[in-house]
Chain A
Amino acid sequence: MSDRRAGGCLCGAVRFSARLPEMEIEACHCGQCQRWTGGGPLLAVKVENLEMTGEAAFSTYRASTWGERVFCGTCGSTLFWRMQGEPAGYVCVGLLDDQSGLAVKREIFVDHRPGWLPHWEDASQSTEAEQMDILSAYLKEQEK
């Protein structure tokens, strides 16, 4: 299933449209995402053929040696996390003008989920150790 959707930040400085290759929301419970979103989890959807306007408003913050967090410098809206030097592969679901049909199907860094947040019944569960294994393999592949 695929679909093209539009979205933007709160003040409208950043607008985009993208193809959604799947209708799944990924929820990240890592401590960095919790601080960044002010609660979390970071709810994100995979995007392809992303077309964005207003990139002059981007502010970026690097909390790790591999990742980059992009937000609107005007209104502070959380936009996306991406690998450094790469285009965004995911955007925050809250930015979409229309979120219909999307559902949380994957939870990652589940060992960092706060006690107040129950897990989603039909979402896959992955721990920090499992995610770091995936990341290490990816980074090793990039070095080749």
Chain B
Amino acid sequence: MITKTGQCLCGAVKFEAELKDATFGACHCGMCRRWTGGPMHAKDAEKLTVTAGQEALNSYNSSDWADRVSCGTCGSSLWYHLKKPEMFIVAVGTFDDQSDMVMASEIFIDHKPGGYAFAGDLKQMTEAEVMAAFAPPEGAR
């Protein structure tokens, strides 16, 4: 397990995230692109603890299943909060030390604009593949 400390640009929000490993993914979905201004680079945390600035958090409910949390003071994109099962997918740019992080996958690749691409051998998934992989089983919806 890797422990990462991080904060937003203004420093109002500070957190500690426990990660299974140093790999992370890029998301090209239209919602992430509007929210962060480009692709979102994030890692699902095994555990996320807000150590300062809980009151500065701004949460926006972007779908029935998730909300997006930013700093209300400086507007930094912090994490994507999946409601059920609860999961925090934390933006890697907010980590104090990103030096060991490795981009390993890209999701919603069919929504990536043509103007940029990431080099390297990355696992790619389309929207349909992501939805199939994460959708709850029939009957549980």
Q: Which residues of A are interface residues toward B (Cβ below 8 A)?
A: 8-11, 25, 27, 32, 34-44, 59, 61, 63, 69-79, 92-95, 99-104, 114-118, 120
Q: What are 8 residue pairs bridging A and B, where the CB atoms are less than 8 Å apart in the complex?
A: A35-B7, A38-B94, A39-B93, A77-B36, A78-B35, A102-B113, A114-B98, A116-B101
The complex places the Cα of A100 from the Cα of B112 at a distance, in Å, of 10
Q: Is the CB of B93 within 8 A of A75?
A: no
Q: Is B75 an interface residue (CB 8 A)?
A: yes
The complex places the Cα of A118 from the Cα of B40 at a distance, in Å, of 16
**Smallest Cβ distance from B109 to chain A, in angstroms?**
15
Q: Is B139 an interface residue (CB 8 A)?
A: no
Q: Which residues of B are interface residues toward A (Cβ below 8 A)?
A: 7-10, 24, 26, 31-42, 58, 60, 62, 68-78, 91-94, 98-99, 101-103, 113-116, 118-120
Q: Which of B41, B69, B113 contacts A39 (CB 8 A)?
A: B41
Q: Is the CB of A39 within 8 A of B40?
A: yes
Who on chain B is nearest to A94 by CB?
B33
Q: Is the CB of A34 within 8 A of B93?
A: yes
Q: Is the CB of A100 within 8 A of B76?
A: no
The complex places the Cα of A92 from the Cα of B32 at a distance, in Å, of 12
Contacts of A43 in B (CB 8 A): 37-38, 116
Who on chain A is nearest to B57 by CB?
A76
Who on chain A is nearest to B68 by CB?
A76
Q: Is the CB of B116 within 8 A of A103?
A: yes
The complex places the Cα of A42 from the Cα of B9 at a distance, in Å, of 13
Q: Is the CB of A10 within 8 A of B34?
A: yes
Q: Is the CB of A42 within 8 A of B38?
A: yes
